[in-house]
Amino acid sequence: MSLRVLVNGAGGRMGKEVVKAVCRAADMELVAAVDPACAGQDIGVAAGLGELGVVVDADLAQAIQRVQPERVVDFTMPSTVAANARTVLSAGVHLVIGTTGLLEQDLQKLDALAREQRVGVVHAPNFALGAVLMMRFAREAARFFPGVEIIELHHDKKRDAPSGTAIKTAEMIKEVWRKPEAGVVEELKLAGARGSDFAGVHIHSVRLPGLIAHQEVLFGGPGQTLTIRHDSMDRESFMPGVLLAIRKVADFQGLVYGLEHLLF
């Protein structure tokens, strides 16, 4: 029996890719698409697949009530994702979140609500399998190098900075990294020249047209450096991870943060 999937934010760049991936998956059925920006359109036409007979809804709660999905995938905006998640979980539906920008307190509230409703939430800052490996390798390397900085590069339409992937990477590094004692006192000629500071790990955000999603983690030690980098050149790179999350989210109750928990 096919999993009944609703895609929220279906008209966006990532949303359209999810629509295509779900439609091509033999074990899934796209039962609804939600996006106020293109409500009333056939989502198949919007995604370049031709007519699917699935008309885009403007209201998430109404769409859930009408089609009774088993899974909702959210790729919307940081300003709306928390409210969207509450709507989905309150309806007792499993949720996959690809939208970044959620704060720690948001994650805690969503975890509590999901447990109360006995449903699962998978929230991943990056669904590319290579990016998950990049973060895992960075965590291993952090045990051996005194210096580390993160440079994340994304397209110029990305709304949040630093990226969720960079923050997640810094969190993983922090678990094992021994921050060196303060050395040279820096004098910044321009505010922000050293990027943001996450527990001593500097994160630098680049936004340029032509980019998709890229990150490198630079380590430095006496007489050597190590660079671990991942590049997504196409949004299709995220789809195997999204489909994996759709399939496995029902294995959990509460919130799972990071795709690595589904892989390792």
With 0-12 CB in 10 A as exposed, 13-18 as middle and 19+ as buried, what is 97? buried
For residue 123, indicate whether it is catalytic.
Answer: no
Tell me the two tokens of residue 175. Answer: 């678990």
Q: Which residues contact 260 (CB under 8 A, 6 or more apart)?
A: 132, 135, 136
Output phi, psi for 166, to 5 deg: -65, -40
Length of the chain: 264
Orientation angle between helical segments 60-67 and 81-90, nearest 10 degrees: 30
Marked catalytic residue, from 154, 204, 214, 230: 154
Whether 154 sits among the annotated catalytic residues: the reply is: yes
Q: CA–CA distance from 38 to each of 43, 44, 75, 116 (Å)?
A: 9, 12, 15, 33
- Looking at the annotation, which residues are catalytic? 154, 158
